[in-house]
A and B are shown apart, each in its own frame.
Chain A
Amino acid sequence: MAKIKAIKINGLRGVREPLTLDLNKKSILVYGDNGTGKSSVTDSFEWFFYDKIEHLSNEEIGRRKGRDALRNIFIPETEDSFIELTFDESKLDSKKSIDSSLKSFNSNETDDFKKFIASSFSERLILRYRDLVQFIIAGKTDKLKELQNIIGFSEVQNIRDLLKRNGARIARNIKSANYDNLKNVQQSTILENLGQNAYTDEQLFDGANELVKPLKLGIEIKSRQDINIVLKKIESKEDSELLNQINFYTKIKESVAQIEGNVDNIYNSYSTFYDSFNALKKAPEKVKNLQLLSLLQEGKSVLTKDVVEDDYCPLCLQEKSKIDLIQDLNLRIEELELLNKEKEQVDNNSKDLQNSIKPNISAIEGLLTEKLFEKEEYSKLKETVEEIKISLNNHLDESKKELTEKLADKEKIKLDKKGVEELTSELVKTIKKLTESKEANLKFKTYTKLFQSAKAYVEYLKIEKEQNVLANQQATFELLYEDFIKRQEEALNVFLTMFSNDINDFYTTMNPNEKVEDIKLVPLKKNDELVGITIEYSFFNETHTPPIAYLSESHINCLGLSFFLASVKAFNKESKFFVLDDVISSFDRSHRYRFAQLLTTRFSDYQVILLTHEKEFFELVSSEVKSKGWILNNFKWTKDDGTGIERGIADIKDRIKKKIEDKNTDGLGNDIRVYTERVMKRVALEIEAKVAYRNNDINEKRMAPELLDAVQSKLTKASKELKEKANIPKIKGMPMFIGNTTSHDNSFQESIEDLEAIWEDVKGLIHNFYCSDCDKFLSFKFYDNVENKIRCGCGSLKFDWKR
């Protein structure tokens, strides 16, 4: 797994001049006040891996994945902005640049790098404060979606939905086609003509042989080919007109009989649609509110993407906690989504109704194109058929009505079943009459009956085959769906159990002895369907859910952080690093310290980039993380350079050593002065040497002479022994310490030998106050009240001290 050796950023977001973080695979704690550009690092990082900056991808800033706001506005058009990452595996090193036309390109185009970037999409690399509690306060459906997204189960859910949807669609098609009715219609034609039903070839051949027996043709029908031979033999061209008439009536009879068999089905479909439609209409306010769903969803997006950064409602501008607002929106959205599901059910019922009607309408439309209908003698029949079509179309019109409209009463719109039955019966009689109108002509009668029954039998087989195919397909999808959900649920349960253990572990590590334990992610089901995920935990042995109702904001944040860290362990397979950007804002002191310990102990094998704008947190955990090999950095922002790094004490010391080694006097005096000022400030703090009050930031700008004077004055009162050893006046008399704020940066010309001597004296001075064994300064924190001595942390450095 990869770790980062260095990050170099130039011209991105707040970074104007090149910013380099040499990490050498180490974790880093970065402090920077608000506006110093910490987030520029996070944003650039996000762009490098995900090719977008989510919180900048909105209407206000530009929807081009945040690229519009990516380049620093002071970067010349001719210059590319970039972020360059080097890794311990050099094959992954890459520089991602963006030019002034917002075209971006990567220097590394190898498959290894592409694979690495692709895998980062399923990894958890960045957590910002604004995203910390998203999962915790999300509704159950969103929780499921979010979790499925990050564990790569969205595709699983897609496949599951596809299997279910197709199974249900086939079932609906079977129901609306009403195959049994269609088969009955064909069997009734066979019965009318053959005097018996024919469900098999044998039954058809038996009936056919009985039918043709009086003709004494000397042919025994044993196949459908034989039927064709017999039909050809007894066919008469003279009777074609009559035959056309019989075929015409038969077609009409079959279509009307289909409708007759479908009347109850259509009535039931209409009733289901009618009832669900009116049930939804009973809550007009709710229905009206459905129109707000997209507005609320957009509002939530605005809040979660931090378009509005402070705690107020962007619509009414009243003060309100952002977490509370998002939580309120989640509840309202969830309620409306439930209502939307009801609406979808009404829509589905409407579609079912349409599907049960449309085949009948198509059949009638086909009939109405028959040539014989153009003749006057059939006009009455045509009118009757058209009336049925109008009645069917009325149902269709009702199915398309909006919720604001009123549906026709079920009983009033109902198809006239009796009328349809009478028409079928009338048509059967007509066909019989026509068939037998040439009673003397046995051949014609036999031909017509054999022809109609053979045709109906073929149609019957076709319908049955279609019905079987669809039934098999439906059964297949249902069985596959069952198998698939078992696999999905098993995998999800394994994941949730292990994932919950990690979350619980991290949370209880940060919140020991608080009686909140056994935190679990629990799947929620409705009608055997996975509909969401909730968080359960035990509080004084009682199970509670959801967490937002009982936990404080700080605890909810802890839970969010635990969730992220558990995700890192679960999903980061290629990247052994992650960024935490200002995630501890709402934590109290004890949580902060435990959080730092959690990172240094449980994530010691990871590379953590921890950014904070809280000085107190930075100071609280600095020694903890530094002792574990972390790098510490301060960010600063200047008008000319934008975001940059403020040199730390350790950096300055290294620089001084390097310059002395290289015999380089350039700026060496200033470096020694700055270093002395930084250390003496710390000394003054630890021994409580008083300096004059200065307001806010000016307080930070203490000059060496002032600090040295303050320490000397304190030593005069408190410790003669230390005063003599430290010999502050010797240091104070050195050239670089004679000056004031305005001359702070004035350099002076000394030889390298002089500077080496000064550096040795400064080190000597500092060694009186700082213990390298325990890495601690002399401090009142370690004051020995028995011996009246001031000590370092381990006690190897101690002096008499009068309090």
Chain B
Amino acid sequence: MDNKIKSGKDVINEFFAEILNVEGTDENTVNKLIELYGDNKFTDSNIQNALEELKQEAIKPKKIKEDGEN
């Protein structure tokens, strides 16, 4: 066996290091996942909560400006 073998940790670290290069993904979602992994909080419930937060943030009605712009 030699160094070509990657440990599980190597595979995961490489994935998160290059995750932003995966085409077609939503940047906010990916950044949130990187943050959770970095904080050692990459669990099912934390992911669900984070995704829900992102959704709520996105659909939150924006304040209508006085000049009529939405």
Contact = CB atoms under 8 A, between A and B. Distances in A.
Contact of B70 (A166, A201, A488, A494): A201
Contact of B48 (A169, A224, A475, A570): A169
Contacts of B6: 491, 494-495
Question: How would you classify the secondary structure of chain A's contact residues: helix, strand, loop or mixed?
Answer: helix
Nearest to A223: B68
B22 A479 contact: yes
A248 interface: no
A118 interface: no
A232 to B, nearest CB: 14
Interface in A170-191: 170
B23 A479 contact: yes
B58 A465 contact: yes
Interface string A416-459: 00000000000000000000000000000000000000000010
Interface string A458-480: 10001001100110110111011
B8 A155 contact: yes
Given A201-B70, A469-B55, A484 B1 contact: no
Contacts of B7: 122, 151-152
A650 interface: no
Contacts of A475: 24-26
Question: For the side of the interface on B, what is the size category?
Answer: 35 or more
B58 A469 contact: yes
A494 B4 contact: yes
Contact of B14 (A151, A473, A487): A487
Interface residues of A, number: 47
Given A226-B68, A487-B11, A569 B29 contact: no
B3 to A, nearest CB: 11
Contacts of B22: 479-480, 483
Interface string B28-69: 011001000000001110011001001100110100111111
B53 to A, nearest CB: 11
Given A224-B70, A491-B6, A472 B12 contact: no
A57 B48 CA distance: 36
A476 B5 CA distance: 28
B8 A151 contact: yes
Given A222-B68, A465-B58, A569 B1 contact: yes
A224 B64 contact: yes
Interface of B: 1-2, 4-12, 14-15, 19, 22-26, 29-30, 33, 42-44, 47-48, 51, 54-55, 58-59, 61, 64-70
22 contacts: A152-B7, A155-B9, A156-B12, A159-B12, A165-B44, A166-B44, A169-B48, A222-B68, A224-B64, A225-B68, A472-B29, A473-B29, A476-B25, A476-B26, A476-B29, A480-B19, A480-B22, A483-B15, A487-B14, A488-B11, A491-B10, A494-B5
